[in-house]
């Protein structure tokens, strides 16, 4: 979502790196480019004014003028101000002292509240909570059914005493009372000992009095601990107006950004926290229920400035990777066993569990310069590799060297690929296997490919050694060659400075101290030396 903004800011900072010192004109030009980039990204005008004003003030201060690298200091200032307008520090969800913790979701229709209810429930369930979803949106057609499907996928129960609107018109059915459904849902959560209650409410295509009144009545009925305003990150400047209307009409304690994986310019994310004064708690980054993460302002600022988000990447890896399998693999390497295609398949599956490869690559620092290559990456490549390995026999997975031409053709037919694909996979696996062997030889003390270096472990390479350096010949320059010949003749005759024994550079031994009689002492100093 922030690709365009990130590219503009990165280009602006690149121009600063060529300057040793920054003048006031340089800073003004930089602030002007930042202002244009933010306005093009649909950031609210008051936020842009405050942001660029703070950046200019700090950039003209002593912290930049005295810096060794002013360009890097300006990048740091922009990063700090981005963190500030995104909310400063991340805030965790407030849990009630006496369960259940009631969370009310509010927002416009189409913002993604129902799907987000399932994502939040799954997120809390993975943390050890027992959430209950309440279908209080009885007005949107099939909203109750959608929540039931989402709850089933997340493995979370749904309280839905009323089927809601089953027609095509956006009207509230006769006898349907969303406030009573929400109140009964809270009582059910207490009776069934659920510690979290998530209430999905109705939305509108626009802000109106009926929407605000219904949301206010549900709020009064369930007394929520958190009211989360769900906002579509793709709606641009209107996000600020909508957020302010909900803050005045219903009130909310936190913001959730949905559709953060879209291709819009992302101004809502940079505006809503600063304008409303409410923190962004969560972000929805995809269609899957697992595409949901806690919002960290500092990490988001790093992504925007193309500095990566390694901490989130590590957290995803910790959740996806199996510690038992990792320990088993480490023991296998230490014992000298070979890395097999079966191990390779397990590693690929764990990589798939981390989520989209494009998103993971995008979290690495500097990946903005390779955005086109990342976008062109085919996510199905992992599935093709898995299909090829699964088309092999156990013996072939243990020892790929037995895979001859006829076996390759059979594997290609079984996996729906070509023999070229099979050959490419085997070549890549051969490289991975060699790297694993090198790591095993290092005994865990060295790094792959570092066996020849002192202290890195491993055996010496059997490959071709670098040729010995030849003796230095005479120069082709006549004047320099004559100088070399004179120096050689002087050395042969014993003329010129000689290096002391044991020193290759003439610095190994100290010169002998001269005798006292050889010293020429001024007459004025004789009286201080006792007549010597």
In 3D, which of 4, 51, 7 has the Cα closest to residue 32? 51
Rounded to a whole number of angstroms, the CA Rg of the chain reads 35
Helix (H) or strand (E) holding 149: helix 143-154
* 382-403 tens-digit pLDDT: 888 888 998 999 888 888 889 8
Min mean pLDDT across 68-82, 321-335, 410-424 is at 321-335
Angle at 41 between CA 83 and CA 14, to 5 degrees: 70
For tokens 């500030």, name the residue: 84
Per-residue pLDDT, 322: 64
Per-residue pLDDT, 250: 81
- Rounded Cα gap, residues 459 and 462, in angstroms: 9
How distant, in Å, are the alpha carbons of 397, 464, 471, 475 from that of 468? 44, 12, 9, 20
- Rounded Cα gap, residues 45 and 52, in angstroms: 11
- Rounded Cα gap, residues 129 and 123, in angstroms: 9
Question: Taking residues 30-56, what's their average pLDDT?
Answer: 85
Q: Is the pLDDT of residue 507 over 60?
A: no
With pLDDT > 90 as the criterion, what percentage of the chain qualifies? 15
Is the CB of residue 255 less than 8 Å from the CB of residue 228?
yes
Q: Is the pLDDT of residue 148 over 50?
A: yes
3-class state of residue 301 by DSSP? helix
Q: Which CATH class is domain 101-305?
A: alpha beta
Where is mean pLDDT largest: 117-121, 167-171, 446-450?
Answer: 117-121
Task: Give 293's DSSP letter.
Answer: E
How far is C-alpha 397 from the geometric centre of its chain's CA atoms? 34
3-class state of residue 198 by DSSP? strand
Residue partners of 147: CB distance under 8 A and separation at least 6: 114, 117, 118, 133, 135, 137, 158, 160, 200
Per-residue pLDDT, 13: 78
pLDDT band at 194 (very low <50, low <70, confident <90, very high): very high
Per-residue pLDDT, 303: 75
Q: Is the pLDDT of residue 433 over 70?
A: yes
In 3D, which of 178, 175, 194 has the Cα closest to residue 186? 194
Question: Taking residues 424-428, what's their average pLDDT?
Answer: 87
Q: Is the pLDDT of residue 332 over 70?
A: no
- Rounded Cα gap, residues 348 and 344, in angstroms: 6
Compute the Cα dihedral for 302, 303, 306, 309 and give only its sign.
Answer: positive
Burial of 513 (0-12, 13-18, 19+ CB in 10 A): exposed
In 3D, which of 23, 25, 82 has the Cα closest to residue 48? 82
Check whether the bond before 100 is cis (ω within 30° of 0): yes
Phi, psi dihedral angles at 476 (to 5 degrees): -80, -10
pLDDT band at 455 (very low <50, low <70, confident <90, very high): very low
Question: Taking residues 6-25, what's their average pLDDT?
Answer: 76
- Rounded Cα gap, residues 319 and 275, in angstroms: 34
pLDDT band at 188 (very low <50, low <70, confident <90, very high): very high
- Rounded Cα gap, residues 29 and 47, in angstroms: 19
Structure tokens that stand for 260 in this block: 């953060």
In 3D, which of 287, 232, 303 has the Cα closest to residue 264? 232
Per-residue pLDDT, 147: 92
Structure tokens that stand for 316 in this block: 């995803």
Per-residue pLDDT, 309: 60
* 352-374 tens-digit pLDDT: 777 666 667 766 666 666 666 66
- Rounded Cα gap, residues 487 and 493, in angstroms: 10
Is the CB of residue 111 less than 8 Å from the CB of residue 252?
no
pLDDT band at 499 (very low <50, low <70, confident <90, very high): very low
Per-residue pLDDT, 367: 62
Question: Taking residues 315-339, what's their average pLDDT?
Answer: 65
Compute the Cα dihedral for 514, 516, 521, 527 and give only its sign.
Answer: positive
Span(s) in the chain for CATH 1.10.260.30: 316-441
pLDDT band at 336 (very low <50, low <70, confident <90, very high): low
Where is mean pLDDT largest: 282-286, 305-309, 317-321, 410-414?
Answer: 410-414
Sheet holding 292-294, edge to edge: 158-159, 131-135, 196-200, 101-106, 226-232, 254-258, 280-284, 292-294
How far is C-alpha 155 from the geometric centre of its chain's CA atoms? 28
* 72-103 tens-digit pLDDT: 788 888 888 888 888 888 888 889 888 899 99
CATH architecture under which domain 3-85 falls? Up-down Bundle (1.20)
Per-residue pLDDT, 409: 92
* 100-137 tens-digit pLDDT: 999 999 888 878 889 999 999 999 999 999 999 999 98
Per-residue pLDDT, 493: 58
Span(s) in the chain for CATH 1.20.120.140: 3-85
In CATH, the number for domain 316-441 is 1.10.260.30
* 264-314 tens-digit pLDDT: 566 766 788 887 888 889 988 888 888 888 888 888 888 777 666 666 666
- Rounded Cα gap, residues 389 and 416, in angstroms: 12
- Rounded Cα gap, residues 342 and 334, in angstroms: 18
Compute the Cα dihedral for 469, 471, 475, 479 and give only its sign.
Answer: positive
Q: Is the pLDDT of residue 404 over 80?
A: yes
Question: Taking residues 138-154, what's their average pLDDT?
Answer: 90
* Average predicted confidence (pLDDT) for the chain: 76
Length of the chain: 532
- Rounded Cα gap, residues 450 and 97, in angstroms: 56
**Of 495 and 230, the one with more pLDDT:** 230
Question: Taking residues 494-514, what's their average pLDDT?
Answer: 45
Span(s) in the chain for CATH 3.40.50.300: 101-305
Structure tokens that stand for 462 in this block: 């059997």
How many CB atoms within 10 Å of residue 169? 7
Task: Give 433's DSSP letter.
Answer: H
- Rounded Cα gap, residues 410 and 395, in angstroms: 15
């Amino acid at each position: 979502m922030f690709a365009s903004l990130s590219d503009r800011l990165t280009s602006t900072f690149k121009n600063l790196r060529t300057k040793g010192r920054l003048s006031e004109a340089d800073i003004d030009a930089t602030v002007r480019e930042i202002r244009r980039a933010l306005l093009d990204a649909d950031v609210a005008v008051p936020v842009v004014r405050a942001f660029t004003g703070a950046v200019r003030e700090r950039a003209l201060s002593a912290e930049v003028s005295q810096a060794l690298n002013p360009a890097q200091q300006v990048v740091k200032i922009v990063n700090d101000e981005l963190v500030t307008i995104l909310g400063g520090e991340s805030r965790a969800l407030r849990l009630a002292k006496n369960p259940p913790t009631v969370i009310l979701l509010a927002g416009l229709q189409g913002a993604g509240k129902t799907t987000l209810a399932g994502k939040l429930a799954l997120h809390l369930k993975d943390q050890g909570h027992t959430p209950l979803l309440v279908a209080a949106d009885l007005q949107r057609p099939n909203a109750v059914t959608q929540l039931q499907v989402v709850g089933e996928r997340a493995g979370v129960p749904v309280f839905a005493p009323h089927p809601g609107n089953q027609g095509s018109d956006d009207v509230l059915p006769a006898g349907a009372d969303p406030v009573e459904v929400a109140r009964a849902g809270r009582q059910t959560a207490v009776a069934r000992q659920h510690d979290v209650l998530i209430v999905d409410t109705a939305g509108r295509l626009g802000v109106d009095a009926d929407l605000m009144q219904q949301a206010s009545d549900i709020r009064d009925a369930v007394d929520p601990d958190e009211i989360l305003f769900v906002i579509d990150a793709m709606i641009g400047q209107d996000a600020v107006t909508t957020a302010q209307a909900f803050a005045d009409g219903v009130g909310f304690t936190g913001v959730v950004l949905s559709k953060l994986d879209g291709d819009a310019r992302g101004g809502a994310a940079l505006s809503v926290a600063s304008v409303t004064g409410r923190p962004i708690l969560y972000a929805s980054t995809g269609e899957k229920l697992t595409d949901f993460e806690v919002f960290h302002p500092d990490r988001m600022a790093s992504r925007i400035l193309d500095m990566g988000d390694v901490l989130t990447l590590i957290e995803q890896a910790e959740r996806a990777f199996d510690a038992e399998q990792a320990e088993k693999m480490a023991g296998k390497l230490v014992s000298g066993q070979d890395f097999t295609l079966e191990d390779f398949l397990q590693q690929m599956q764990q990589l798939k569990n981390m989520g989209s490869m494009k998103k993971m690559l995008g979290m690495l620092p500097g990946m903005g310069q390779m955005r086109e290559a990342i976008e062109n990456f085919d996510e199905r490549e992992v599935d093709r590799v898995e299909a090829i390995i699964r088309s092999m026999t156990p013996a072939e997975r243990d020892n790929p060297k037995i895979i001859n031409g006829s076996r390759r053709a059979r594997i290609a037919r079984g996996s729906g690929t070509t023999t070229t694909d099979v050959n490419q996979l085997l070549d890549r696996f051969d490289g991975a296997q060699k790297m694993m062997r090198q790591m095993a030889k290092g005994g865990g003390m060295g790094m792959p490919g570092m066996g020849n270096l002192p202290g890195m472990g491993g055996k010496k390479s059997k490959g071709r050694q670098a040729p010995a350096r030849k003796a230095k010949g005479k120069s082709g320059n006549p004047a320099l060659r004559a100088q070399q010949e004179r120096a050689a003749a002087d050395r042969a005759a014993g003329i010129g400075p000689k290096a002391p024994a044991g020193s290759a550079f003439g610095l190994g031994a100290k010169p002998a101290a001269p005798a006292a009689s050889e010293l020429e002492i001024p007459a004025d100093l004789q009286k201080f030396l006792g007549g010597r």
